[in-house]
Amino acid sequence: MMIARLNGALRAQCGAEPLTLQGVARIDDSGNFHFSVFSEARARARSMVTGTSAAHDADGNLVPPPLPEPSQAQKWIQVAEQNDGIGDMLIFAGRSEDWFDIYKALELAQSLAGGRPGRKLHALLGGDGDEFERMWRTANMHRHARCKDPPTIPMTLAEAMSLLPLVIRSLLTHLVP
């Protein structure tokens, strides 16, 4: 459950792909490794560049970096350990590659924001509130056999998967200072 929550927090924070199990290794009595690797055919690419810097005082001495602080995702995970609603929302958000998980994540997000009638989550999202509404109605349409109120222009699954991290991030930033 911890990995599932972590996947949701990292997807919301920085759009990270879920952590998955790719294989298992066993070390025998002789110290030899035996690997079992699970293969899967997917093609997706991302890149990231990082850098480091150093600060010096007036005398040229290296100034030590500040003490590390928990990342935003780590703070969300800490809160999720105490709040089942946040924990479940992160789990659904972390594996949101279908309409069911997107709907469940949105349903929990709305509940955590104060419920649907006041449309508090819609207001919290500001300019993205209308796109959230379209995503919500599209997810709800896919949840039912016959939808009574489909959106005029349904959102694609790819659009919803792209927007969901913003929704979760906005809500958690509001809930977890």
Mean pLDDT along residues 51-68: 87
pLDDT of residue 127: 80
pLDDT of residue 42: 55
**Host H or E run for residue 24:** strand 23-27
pTM of the model: 0.73
β-sheet bridge partners, residue 27:
33
pLDDT of residue 124: 83
pLDDT of residue 122: 80
Digit-coded pLDDT (tens) for 61-87? 999 888 889 989 999 999 999 999 999
Q: Do the beta carbons of residue 113 and residue 124 sit within 8 Å?
A: yes
Flag whether pLDDT at 103 surpasses 90. yes
Mean pLDDT along residues 108-136: 83
pLDDT of residue 105: 96
pLDDT band at 116 (very low <50, low <70, confident <90, very high): low
Q: Do the beta carbons of residue 91 and residue 5 sit within 8 Å?
A: yes
Q: Do the beta carbons of residue 102 and residue 139 sit within 8 Å?
A: yes
Using CA of residue 34, residue 40, residue 43, residue 47, what is the dihedral sign? negative
Higher pLDDT, 69 or 123: 69
What whole-number distance in Å separates Cα of residue 163 and Cα of residue 19? 20
pLDDT of residue 13: 86
Helix boundaries (H) for the chain:
2-14, 72-82, 84-94, 99-113, 120-124, 129-143, 157-175
3-state secondary structure of 35: strand
Most confident of 40-49, 60-69, 75-84, 114-123: 75-84
Higher pLDDT, 15 or 22: 15
